Amino acid sequence: MESMIWVLEVLALVLVFAVGFFLALVIVLYLIDRLQTGDAVRRNYPVIGRFRHLFTALGEFFRQYFFAMDREELPFNRAQRDWVERAASGHGNTVAFGSTRNLNVVGTPIFVNAAFPPLDNQYASTAPLVIGAGARVPFEAKSIFNLSGMSYGALSQPAVVALSMGARKAGIWMNTGEGGLSPWHLKGGADIVYQIGTAKYGVRDADGKLSDDKLREVAAHNQVKMFELKLAQGAKPGKGGILPAAKVNAEIAAIRGIPEGQASMSPNRHEEIDDWGTLLDTIGHIREVTGKPVGFKTVVGAVEPFAELFDLISHRGEACAPDFITIDGGEGGTGAAPMPLIDLVGMPIRESLPLICDLRDQRGLHDRIRLVASGKLVNPGDVAWALCAGADFVTNARGFMFSLGCIQALKCNKNTCPTGITTHDPALHKGLVPETKFEKVAAYADCITHEVETIAHSVGVAEPRQMRRRHVRLVQSDGHSIPMNELFPSYSPRPEG
């Protein structure tokens, strides 16, 4: 009995202490909120006003997991993410009971199935395609679908290793992004496209200028197959790359050639490139120094400047042309960019790609300059559309992030990514095991290729690059669809598939 009383007394004391502590905390928060002047809601409604911020922070979580429909979320909806997850896991991607996609949305592609599609023994695997046939060391690219630029720094070390290993297994190329070539890019043995950003990380001299000696060092790696001169990317045309200071550790600073612990801010453009002529001169110089194919990546704001580019190439001669052009859409992504640029600047890829393709083909440069499409093309229908529009290759970044386990937490710029993909916090890396995740990367790439081939066979051609604009219809504002070649008449010299 006495022990029971003692227990009750202890519980009563604990309860009194807890209530006292709670009341003291409420009083302290009340005084803080009433005295501060930065937040009107908290000042007018002390303590209670704090719940607004809590609910705002949790709103994104509840929308994603409980309230949003499968095709409502942005930038990528649940249906898109789930498809990637199933593909990366090697599970069947069949679904039941009909499509959940709204086919009345303007621009929705509808592929034109053939009345008599080819039989199984009439299919063909996607053939490799040579880029830079005139370079001393041309590149025979094996896959239509490849890994777009993501820097070591923006991504964690285990993420880069997993992507490198997965790219090697799937036979696709891996773009370094503008952060330079790290040991982790090379570790998996993948083919590498070295991206030279406006800050020239990894190939710059002490003054930040392009270094021929460092170009030769990079080109000496057999895995480095091409160089891509980055003029702009979709999420921030006209603005250089941004890597927050929290992500610039000693290793990343050494690879990039910048101070440790300081934000990495790239110039808005290459200082020495201020017109198409100097761009072609720089491309030719890098190709001569490295012996490898060289192209550039940019975003289309208007068609007229690109007409000037192709006219200049025609005037100078095909030898001066870039070996490839990567067209990123204004809807492209990144870990850190100003919202006005993400939302408002640059043509979407679905408008710009066919226009640039036609300019190239009108000048007879189809076989000289390969076109690479980039920008939110994460599912088979996206990739098939791009090939119909005229792309030779498609690259993607965020689909591969989903294959690594990205949950679209939208914390890429905060060094707190819960899946370990975009953080340099060792405690968060333990969730990302490259020896397991690389299999998912390869499975995703393989599934994309397989299902794009399935679409190609359905429209009546033997392999994806034989698809043409007439093979896809686009939904219009009145709900009807029209063939893509009526919206964008093709000038391509490619024979009809």
Task: Based on the fold, state whether residues 9 and 127 are members of the same structural domain.
Answer: no
Q: pLDDT tens digits for 425-468?
A: 787 777 788 898 899 999 999 999 999 999 999 999 989 999 99
Q: What is the domain-level CATH number for residue 329?
A: 3.20.20.70
Q: CA–CA separation, 195 vs 307, rounded Å?
A: 24
Residue 113 lies in a domain: no
Residue 496 lies in a domain: no
| Domain termination site, one of 51, 67, 83 | 67
DSSP secondary structure letter of residue 105: S
Task: Based on the fold, state whether residues 49 and 186 are members of the same structural domain.
Answer: no
Q: Is the pLDDT of residue 333 over 70?
A: no
Residue 219 and residue 291 in contact, taking contact as beta carbons nearer than 8 Å:
yes
DSSP letters, 423-443, are ---HHHHTT--HHHHHHHHHH
Note the maximum CA span of the chain: 104
| Domain termination site, one of 24, 46, 67 | 67
Q: Is the pLDDT of residue 84 over 80?
A: no
Q: What is the pLDDT of residue 479?
A: 87
| Domain termination site, one of 67, 82, 108 | 67
Q: What is the pLDDT of residue 258?
A: 81
> What is the percent of the chain with per-residue pLDDT over 90, rounded to a whole number?
44
Q: Is the pLDDT of residue 314 over 90?
A: yes
Residue 199 lies in a domain: yes
Q: pLDDT tens digits for 186-234?
A: 999 999 999 999 889 999 888 888 999 999 999 999 999 999 999 987 6
Residue 234 lies in a domain: yes
DSSP letters, 350-366, are HHHHHHHHHHHHHTT-T
Q: CA–CA separation, 370 vs 42, rounded Å?
A: 57
Q: CA–CA separation, 444 vs 462, rounded Å?
A: 22
Task: Based on the fold, state whether residues 124 and 57 are members of the same structural domain.
Answer: no
Beta strands in 300-389 (DSSP E): 324-328, 370-374
Task: Based on the fold, state whether residues 45 and 126 are members of the same structural domain.
Answer: no
Task: Based on the fold, state whether residues 381 and 312 are members of the same structural domain.
Answer: yes
- How far, in Å, are 40, 63, 195, 469, 479 from residue 106 at the CA level? 42, 25, 35, 17, 8
3-state DSSP percent of the chain in helix, strand and coil, to 5: 45, 15, 45
Task: Based on the fold, state whether residues 201 and 339 are members of the same structural domain.
Answer: yes
Residue 73 lies in a domain: no
Task: Based on the fold, state whether residues 58 and 124 are members of the same structural domain.
Answer: no
Task: Based on the fold, state whether residues 357 and 421 are members of the same structural domain.
Answer: yes
Q: What is the pLDDT of residue 119?
A: 81
Q: Is the pLDDT of residue 493 over 70?
A: no
DSSP secondary structure letter of residue 464: G
Q: Is the pLDDT of residue 422 over 60?
A: yes
Residue 79 lies in a domain: no
Q: Is the pLDDT of residue 402 over 70?
A: yes
Q: Is the pLDDT of residue 239 over 70?
A: no
Task: Based on the fold, state whether residues 59 and 135 are members of the same structural domain.
Answer: no
Task: Based on the fold, state whether residues 19 and 157 are members of the same structural domain.
Answer: no
Task: Based on the fold, state whether residues 58 and 125 are members of the same structural domain.
Answer: no
Q: What is the pLDDT of residue 99?
A: 67
Window from 248-252, 339-343, 350-354 with minimum mean pLDDT: 339-343
Q: What is the pLDDT of residue 138?
A: 97
More confident residue, 98 or 232: 232
How many domains would you assign to the chain?
2
Residue 91 lies in a domain: no
To the nearest whole number, what is the mean pLDDT of the chain?
84
Q: CA–CA separation, 103 vs 106, rounded Å?
A: 8
Q: What is the pLDDT of residue 497?
A: 45
Task: Based on the fold, state whether residues 400 and 267 are members of the same structural domain.
Answer: yes
From the list 467, 491, 195, 213, the residue with the least C-alpha distance to 365 is 491
Residue 142 lies in a domain: yes
Which range of residues forms the domain containing residue 414?
Answer: 120-487
